Structures are given as C-alpha cells and as structure tokens.
Structure 1
Amino acid sequence: MFNSVLSVSCNILHNTKNVLVNSVRFASKKQSGSTRNTNPKHKPKHRGWKVQDGHQVSAGTILVTQRNLRFHPGRNVGLGRNGTLFAIIPGKVMVTCEKADVDWSHTWVQRCHGHRKGVEFYKKYFNVIPEKQHQNFKLIDLV
C-alpha cells in the first residue's frame, strides 16, 4: 500500500511539473496607445489676424485677436481689455513695422514688455487710414 501511494504521488508531482512548464502568463490588462484631444469641451480660439493689409474695414471691425501683446494699435485703432485690436473709424488697413513707442502705464504693456524697458525694439502696428482725407493742412515751410 505504501508503494502505491508513493507511485500516485510521483505521478501527481510529475504532472504538475509538466503543467508548470507549459503555462504562460499573460498581461492582466490590454495595452493600447494613448489618445489626444478627446475632450470636446475645448474649442479652438482662432486667434490672430482677422483682416489683412490693404482691406477696407468699417468702424468697430475686429482686426486682431491675441493673448499677449503681439500686435500694437496704431492710428485709428483701439485696444480692447482682452487684447483685441479694432478699427475706430472706417478706412483701409495698413500694417507697419515700427519702433515701439508704448504706453508704459498700461498693464498689458508692463506684463508683455516689462523686460524691454529702456531698450529700443520694433513691433507690428495696425493702422486704419480714413477713406476721406481731411483737407486741414497748414504750410509750415516753403521748399
């Protein structure tokens, strides 16, 4: 009887040894790549130039939307609280690159150009040239 129990236990050990050798462990979770921009709540802001150089605009037309002070208001252009540039009068848009002459008391200017105080730098200015030019000229010097 002792021999039969021993032979049965040897067979069990032998079978479990085969089972352990043949078993393969798989991952508990499937791997997949990450996805981006899946949240539909975030819509693009579409910032930047709204009107190109040389186009005709009416009063109140938005010329530029911006987050930082990238473009500056020139003649007949206003600066909104959120950095939007808009036309004050109807006319033709003209974009120029000029030496920056900014109002240092403005909070936007302090935040965006505070590190440049006292240094000469150039920026893009949006200007609106009126459709009808005024005729109020004075003769200063005769050439």
Structure 2
Amino acid sequence: MNFIIQNVKLGLLTGSEILTNSVRYASKKAKSSTRNSSPKTRPKHRGWKVQDGHTVHAGHILATQRNLRFHPGLNVGLGKNGTLFAIIPGKVLVTCEKADLNWEHTWVQRCYGHRQGTEFYKKYFNVIPEPQHQNFKLVDQI
C-alpha cells in the first residue's frame, strides 16, 4: 500500500490502475431494520373465546381483554385482569346494550371516566341457564 501511495504522489499510475488497486470492502454487512424484530414475544390471543349461542360450564372463560371492551351481563363475572367468565352453566348470549356501569369500579373509571354523564352502547356477555326438566316428585309420593 505504501508503494501505491508513493506512485500516486509521483503520478506514475493511470486511472484504471488506481481503480483496480483501491477497492474498499465493507467491514459489516448491510442489514435492514424490521419493526417486529423481537422473536421472543408471543401473541396473547385476547378477544372472544366463546361465540354467541354456545353452551358453557361454570367458570368457563368467555373473553379476555386489556381494556374494558366487553362487559359482564347476566350470570357473568369480571376478573381482576379483565377476563369475563361464566358463573353458572348455560348458553352464551351477546347483546349490545346501553351502558349501565358501576362508576365505583376502577376499570370503569380508567376506561370511561371521560364519558361519565353521556349515553353510549357496549357489548355485554350474558349466560342464560338451561331450562331444567320438570320430572320432580315429592319424596312423600315415592
């Protein structure tokens, strides 16, 4: 390399010789960036777990959520992490109703505090119990 620099100073090399002798290689490969480059994050699979009209048992998870997107209706409980679950066995019924919220609940205050005093509609999960058979007999009759 020292020889080439000295010859260039003297002007002894032609233009084509300079181009062939002075090739520079990249020290690192060029890499493009991606938005989802972290392969260790797994999807959470939030949302509806049971569709309208399906039969569920007590304790069955109906929906998972981060914000209060779905609301508990008849015979449905709300977990600490926003999970909706069935309290009794029965058939699932999803309705769109005017929101009648418990404004003391922390989730309601966080999600709908700015809407207090206004009228809006939300999806409610309800569990309708299955009708029981009517084949009961009194113990005295048996």
> What is the TM-score of this pair, normalised by structure 2?
0.77
Cα pair distance change 1:43/1:57, threshold 3 Å:
same
Contact 2:54–2:91 (8 Å) recurs in 1? yes
> Residue 96 of structure 1 aligns to a residue in which SS?
strand
CA distance, structure 1, for counterparts of residue 127 and residue 30 of structure 2: 57
Deviations, residues 95-115 of structure 1 (Å, cap 9, x unaligned): 000000000000000000111
> Quick check: which has more Rg, 1 or 2?
1
> Residue 15 of structure 1 aligns to a residue in which SS?
coil
Q: Which runs of 5+ in 1 are unaligned?
A: 1-8, 134-143
CA distance, structure 2, for counterparts of residue 31 and residue 80 of structure 1: 48
| RMSD between superposed Cα atoms in Å | 2.7
Kindly state the Cα deviation for residue 32 of structure 1 after the two structures are TM-superposed.
2.0
Cα pair distance change 1:20/1:28, threshold 3 Å:
farther
Kindly state the Cα deviation for residue 36 of structure 1 after the two structures are TM-superposed.
4.8
Contact 2:90–2:130 (8 Å) recurs in 1? yes
Cα pair distance change 1:114/1:20, threshold 3 Å:
farther
Q: Which runs of 5+ in 2 are unaligned?
A: 1-5, 133-142
The aligned runs of 1:51-66 (5 Å cut-off) are: 51-66=50-65
Correspondence for 1:34: 33
CA distance, structure 2, for counterparts of residue 34 and residue 11 of structure 1: 40
Correspondence for 2:12: 15
Deviations, residues 117-140 of structure 1 (Å, cap 9, x unaligned): 00000000000001026xxxxxxx
Correspondence for 2:78: 79
User: Identity across aligned pairs (percent)?
Assistant: 72
Correspondence for 1:91: 90
Correspondence for 2:106: 107
Correspondence for 1:129: 128
Correspondence for 2:136: none
Kindly state the Cα deviation for residue 40 of structure 1 after the two structures are TM-superposed.
3.8
> What is the TM-score of this pair, normalised by structure 1?
0.77
* Structure 1 residue ranges (4+ consecutive) displaced by more than 6 angstroms after TM superposition: 9-12
Deviations, residues 68-111 of structure 1 (Å, cap 9, x unaligned): 00000000000000000000000000000000000000000000
Number of positions where the alignment pairs a residue of Structure 1 with one of Structure 2: 126
